[in-house]
Chains A and B, each alone.
Chain A
Amino acid sequence: MKKIKYLFSAAFLSIILASCSAGWLDVTPGDKEEEDLVVYDLASAKIALRGMYYMIKGSSNYTTYYAADMIYYGDVHGDQMMATGESGRGLWAYEMDYTGTSGADNMWQIPYKVINIANKLIEKMEAGEANGATAEQVNNIIAQCRMGRALAHFDLLRVYSNFYDPDALGVPIVTKPEQWSYLPARNTVGEVFNKLIVPDLEYAIANMASSNGNGYFSKWTAMGLLARAYQYQGMDKEALATALSLINDKANPHSLLTNEKYATDFNSGFSPENLFIIMITGTTDYTDRPGIAYLCNPDGYADIAISENLYNLFEDKYSDDVRKQLLIADEYPGPEAYFGGLKVFVNKYKPNLGESNIMIANIPIMRLSETYLIAAESAFKTGDKQTAADMLNKIILRGNPNAKTETASSISLDRILQERAVELFGEGHRYFDLVRNDMDIVRYTSSEDQGWNLNLQSYATSFNRKFYKAILPIPISEINSNVNIVQNPGY
């Protein structure tokens, strides 16, 4: 009996002692990695770098940047495209109703996530955490991070500020990983451009490789964005010079697609025209149904379509243009088909070659044709009308080799913007083009010209860039958590 007694006591003690070792309560997270252990060599740095691209691309969880919202915001907020209301997703930007839990809130958050990822990786790279990487490799990664950071700041300016006015309130510049208690104030638009976007892009141009592979930034992407940034600032001389240096650089591997290949190769990863294309290879990296491809497709959410005015423009003036092939109709037989089966849906995000799943589609973000159009517009504005016509004609003729071209004497800003509309519809440009040029955004003025537009509140039928709803309110969550942030006027 005594024996048992001792056995028990021994067991009691041994269990206490055995489990009592200090480390027993230290557990490692199985599906996560501690931040300090993430980057240790070049390969791990590249994994962290891909995280930044992933955030730019988005997912079914992060839909509010280039996964969908950033693209359709630039379209349905304008005058030539509209939300159909079929799934209700694009309505907020179209109706300009920014209250509630719409994308208006999260278009702020995701770009700052991109910035945060970039800043963390820059810090790690500068601290030499990527053991064994050459200086060139390190700089190439830092350059991509700075390019991503510049893009995110630029997009924030486009959405939340009057980006055409250097003195207007911009967005906070964030250049390093910050603590949770960080409460920055808004920088001015000019500060964001001059202190962050331009230096970051200049660094990127100087340090990035000519190609980092399909789906990644290159030196040429940075040049394309810099040209666009100058254009948005109204610095036409710089915009023209940057655009031309990109177009004319002998080392530039990018070129316009031919007329024949334009429609088929538009969002192909092999298209030489894409300065930056988001590569979606399958269900592991697609953005699922909330993504732009499914939103645009009549067999998907059928949520976004071109307006009757753009439809008529194509019918009247571009009926033989290859770009018209990037519009498709709902193929449902009979009158039940959306818009009676007219070709009003954007097919720029068509399924990749050999892919039947309409959600698996590459998303071109920056194309060389835009650079030509930047060159044309900036040249026109600086008075170099011959260059403007030359640049514009490249785009006109590529669309239709038999089309009427423009000359230095016939060219006009309206003509350039019309060509932009036809070339870049559905890619998130139109609204910003109108704002940049201080033009009115007219969806309709009466029931006669309402076209297919849904019934809108009167303020949303026609407005200009001075209307307070032309830019989004800073999300209420940011206002609530950051006392230093000033709200946009009117909200």
Chain B
Amino acid sequence: MKKSLIFLVCLFYSIGTLFAQDFTASGVVVDESGEEVIGATVVLKGTTTGVATGIDGDFKIKVPHGSTLVFSMVGMKTVERKAADNMRVVMTSDVAALDEVVVTGYGAVKKGSFTGSASVINTESLQDVPTVSLDVKLAGASSGVTVSNASGQPGGVESMRIRGAGSIMASNEPLYVVDGVPLNTTNVSEFTYSQSGASSLSTLNMNDVESITIIKDAGAAAMYGSRAANGVVVIKTKSGRMGKTSVSFRANWGFSNMAIDYRPTLGGDARRELLYYGLENYAKIRGESDPKAFADKNINTFAEKPWSGWADWRDILIKNGSQGNYEASIQTGSEAFNAFSSLAYTKLEGLTAQSGFERFAGRLNTSFTGVRNLRIDVNTTFSRTNQDTYSEGTSYASPIMAIGFTASPQDFPYNEDGTLNRTKKFPLLNSGSANPLSAIEYTSSKNKMTRILGSVGAKYDIYDGLYVKEMLSNDYLHSDQTVWWGPQSNDGRTANGNLQVIPTSQQTFTSQTHLGYIKTFNEVHNIDGLVGYETEKYHYSYVYGSGQGFPNPSKNTLDAATTTSSSGGYEDRRLLSYLAVANYNYNETYYLGANIRRDGSSKFSRNKRWGNFWSLSGSWRLTNENFMEITKQYIQDARIRASYGVNGNLPTNNYDFLSTYTYGNIYAGEQGSIPTKFGNPNLTWEKNQSWNFGLDLSFLNRFNLTLDLYNRKTTDLLVPLAISQTTGFASYNINMGEIRNKGVEVSLRSNNITTNDFTWNTILNLSHNSNKILKLDGERDRMQLGYSNRLMHEVGQPFSMLYALEYAGVDPETGQEQFFKNQGENPRETTTNPAEAKSVLLKKVDPTLSGGLINNLSYKGFDFGFTFTFSLGGHLYDNAAMNWLNTDGGANMFRGNVPKSYDLNKIWKKPGDNAKLPNFYYGNSNQVSSRYMHSTNHLRLKNATLGYNVPRNLLNGSGLSNVRFFASGVNLLTFKSKNLVVDPEIPTSVTNGIGSYGSVMMETPPLRTFTFGVDISF
């Protein structure tokens, strides 16, 4: 009965071929790697009759004998084949195509049938970009995505924001899924001496990555439930391809320096002249009878030319970094088996002797397809990394702080006899032992990571589109961290050497069990869906050991210490999920998708543990409608999309719901326990409700436009509510408050020129996000989070607003700083008395508009690609300038470096002067004002690659299939405001997260790197 019904409907739809003699053509469509192509369109040539391939790449279509089938898929070259039984059609990818495959982790679909909002990044063009960090590669490549680094030190933690930040206490980082497995991407570093942290993402060799899909809207992200609030980054690594075995080698070498002129300072003579003026001026103000004599007497305390001449600490401490990268990969494939394997070695040296990153990474991805109905995928990767970092922040040992602030031209590095200067110069470093060179020579901070990540997946086709899939994975991440302060260093001096070691291990075991169904009914009703069950089990453990007293400083292991102490512990967390996904489309014109997921997390108490997350989405392909036929020559493809979804975010800590005591609080040599957490048993998920409306347009055979509008509202925000400290605690974690992010994203791609010899295409990505606090704790309109006094969070305003007095320039009469009152009857009146002025919310940290402009050109064997990134409307606050550097003669200016912006000609000297800089004298003080707030507007040539492929005819007979030479660089050019002496890409603090966002101190700026390389395949 059923069969006849289908037949009837078929008749109805294939009316044009009613009288031909039909048979059923069938087969499977695979790509070069032997992977099934899902959703490829199979059309009878000359008609619009067609079907889409199923989850196994399979298709069945009733066609007349002798007819031709056209196989097409966005992102792949169209293939024509004679219709037959049991066809095996291989489609190859079309690099130049304007559309691509969206990998959601719950299946790969072509973008045309994806109802959510996602960006697909082709990593091939980014392979040559010399960096180990993913964020540098991704900068500008996708709209709605901003990336940053905590520090320019290699191997440091990266940060990605998809459509703004919606969380205060929970993470704002997206979920990373690699080959279907959610990846642990925590900062591995236990120490905070360096601000860079240690990125666990840096263990991955990014050149193993085939594609990156960034899922931005809740419609698709809700599949990942409680972890998907900030979007999902789905990474697919390379796999073996059917056909000839190929081997390739690549190597590149290069060097690095700072991407910007970081906090330039005055040279010795100019500094001395300025400080002399400051002393003389001070003596005048103080009423000394002979100001010149006073200045003469005191100037050498601050600016005495040393025996060696003025010291240039930039030259002494900072060197050019270097980079080398060597890798080999092999890929092969047959009907029953395919494999991809790679081995890579990377070595980066940072800007000082104690900064570097080394990685040895291997991968083997295999799949077995020999047994009928069964497919087994085994992916394994291992890596060893070795990261060296120097101290940052306000540590005396920081070389970055030394060049910008603490080591002035009068502080000489070496004595005349060649020994290290350990006199009491270095007044800002507390003592001569703090000569920054002693930190570089006698201290180190190392982090060695080992990661073994493996997954085994099996998929079995049970019957007629019904399949079961099981995947198990284990991620083992071990880290050995060692901080050594030799007895000769300032940090290790008093303890006669200090060693700290922390071995940690993190293990994540996940299982995914899916029962799925995919089927096309009546050739036009395409359905697919799955129900599944997933678990995640995470275990973390650490041991901390420290030793003091090293009689032999060259032996720095714990057993060589005179006294040692240790501590340790572990944490667990678990996640249990049930999910169901269903998609339906009618004739590839109307799409509907729904998914629901139920997550249980060990991070909450028993009755708050379970949460439901869901989404609905749909899209309409207008160009499939008859009425669009007339516009076909202008508009090739048009689609509108909409989605709504609810997903969640978990707290960062594992046990916030429990009131707990910790041990290890030793008193008088004995164990003590103290309450450390005021647990909230009612704590639960942060929830995101997001709308997304999208439009995809391919027009004029050249342009491809994607436009998205979104509105993401985060409720039940996890907030560290400040409570009365009389309770013994400063904060209590609670769900309250709301933040909204809404915005527009535009991505326009254009094939400017396509000829046989020359191609040029351009991609422009633009994003605008506006962020607003809707509610804080319900009572207060404003609050600060305690990490930074420069940020004020106010209802109705963007989350990160800079807060200070509003600077109104130099008072021409007194030469003092003046401020707008911003209170009382005349708020725009100025005053030199800070008590009469009121601090106000000034500017937002986040940019109004940011984006990237990518161009790819190729001419014969040459190719040239470059990416510009830019940002408009954002601001930062220079805390270091306010506290120490730009204080118009404050004590720290005399004791350390003076910023280059100080120019005697610009300083106020007498009443009536309309000066740029206030009066300058010893002991002057300044105020927290907008004077130190700067725009982060900038344009940056983020990366550029020039390559040359040796023509094939020259390679004939050599056995080589491809030889390519290339030169590539990152952060090559930066255009920014002159007043901004730090990097415009605001670093995201590893320790304070969003709480101190927008304030800068002494962070290492990003590296500018150039490399040259060669890539050989045979």
Contact = CB atoms under 8 A, between A and B. Distances in A.
Interface stretch (A27-35, A75-83, A403-411, A459-467): A27-35
Nearest to B396: A87
Given A27-B573, A279-B668, A182 B724 contact: yes
Nearest to A22: B606
A294 B727 CA distance: 31
A234 interface: no
A5 B732 contact: no
B978 interface: no
Given A53-B667, A87-B430, A48 B722 contact: no
Interface stretch (A10-18, A245-253, A390-398, A418-426): A10-18
A359 B725 contact: no
Given A8-B462, A215-B668, 16 more contacts: A12-B470, A12-B515, A31-B662, A33-B662, A51-B665, A51-B675, A101-B789, A113-B729, A116-B675, A116-B727, A178-B727, A179-B727, A180-B734, A283-B548, A285-B669, A336-B425
Nearest to B722: A481
Nearest to A15: B513
A452 interface: no
A284 interface: yes
Interface stretch (B168-176, B563-571, B635-643): B563-571
A26 B680 CA distance: 16
B424 interface: yes
A357 interface: yes
A332 B431 CA distance: 10
B789 A112 contact: no
B511 interface: yes
A28 B515 CA distance: 33
Contact of B675 (A24, A120, A283): A120
B668 A29 contact: no
- Most A Cβ at <10 Å: residue of B463, B533, B600, B670: B670
A338 B606 CA distance: 61
Contacts of A29: 571-572, 654-655, 658, 660
Nearest to B733: A180
Contacts of A51: 661, 665, 667, 672-675
A299 B433 CA distance: 10
B535 A19 contact: yes
Interface of B: 286, 372-374, 423-425, 430-432, 460, 462-463, 468, 470, 493-496, 511, 513, 515, 533, 535, 541, 546, 548-549, 563, 565, 568-574, 576, 600-602, 606, 609, 654-655, 658-663, 665-680, 721-730, 732, 734, 780, 783-784, 786, 789, 891, 923
Contacts of B548: 283, 357
A30 B571 contact: yes
Contacts of A120: 675
A332 B655 contact: no
B729 to A, nearest CB: 7
A47 interface: yes
B659 A34 contact: yes
B672 A356 contact: no
Contact of A183 (B460, B671, B724): B724
Interface string A429-468: 0000000000000000001000000110000000000000
A25 B574 contact: yes
A475 interface: yes
B659 to A, nearest CB: 4
Contact of B659 (A35, A59, A283, A485): A35
15 contacts: A5-B462, A27-B602, A31-B570, A32-B677, A34-B660, A38-B673, A51-B661, A51-B667, A51-B672, A52-B674, A113-B729, A182-B726, A183-B724, A284-B669, A478-B725
A26 B606 contact: yes
Contacts of B678: 180
A359 B492 CA distance: 12
B495 A357 contact: yes
B789 A100 contact: yes
A52 B513 CA distance: 50
Contacts of B670: 50
A115 B675 CA distance: 12
Contacts of B470: 8, 11-12, 15
B777 to A, nearest CB: 9
Q: Which 3 A-B pairs have the closest CB atoms?
A: A116-B728, A31-B569, A50-B672
A12 B724 CA distance: 51
Contact of B600 (A4, A25, A116, A302): A25
Describe A's contact surface by its main secondary structure.
loop
A256 B670 CA distance: 28
A128 interface: no
Contact of A184 (B655, B663, B724, B728): B724
Nearest to A338: B424
Contacts of B668: 50, 53, 213-216, 279, 281, 285
B982 to A, nearest CB: 21
User: Chain A interface residue count: which class?
Assistant: 35 or more
A51 B728 CA distance: 13
Interface in A275-314: 279, 281-285, 294, 299-302
A74 interface: no
A402 interface: no
Contacts of A180: 678, 680, 721, 723, 727, 729, 732, 734
Interface in A91-127: 100-101, 108-109, 112-113, 115-117, 120
Nearest to A298: B431
Contacts of B662: 31-33
Given A33-B661, A279-B669, A117 B460 contact: no
Contacts of B667: 50-51, 53-54, 57, 215, 279, 285
A298 to B, nearest CB: 9
A134 interface: no
B374 A4 contact: yes
A174 interface: yes
Nearest to B566: A284
Contacts of B374: 4
Nearest to B458: A8
Interface string A465-491: 000000000010110111001000000
B685 to A, nearest CB: 14
A54 B533 contact: no
A428 interface: no
- Most A Cβ at <10 Å: residue of B496, B671, B672, B677: B672
Nearest to B891: A85
B200 to A, nearest CB: 20
A399 interface: no
B293 to A, nearest CB: 15
A34 B673 contact: no
A382 B655 CA distance: 58
A12 B669 contact: no
A48 B667 CA distance: 11
A285 B506 CA distance: 28
B669 A47 contact: no
A172 B727 CA distance: 11
B496 A283 contact: no
A47 B673 contact: yes
A338 B468 CA distance: 77
Nearest to B576: A25
A265 interface: no
Contacts of A54: 665-667, 672, 674
Contacts of B728: 112-113, 115-117, 177
A180 B571 CA distance: 25
Nearest to B512: A15
A481 B658 CA distance: 22
B725 A35 contact: no
Nearest to B780: A480
A12 B373 CA distance: 17
Contacts of A108: 725
Contacts of B535: 19
A316 B871 CA distance: 67
A302 B786 CA distance: 29
A112 B565 contact: no
Given A50-B672, A357-B496, A480-B783, A4 B546 contact: no
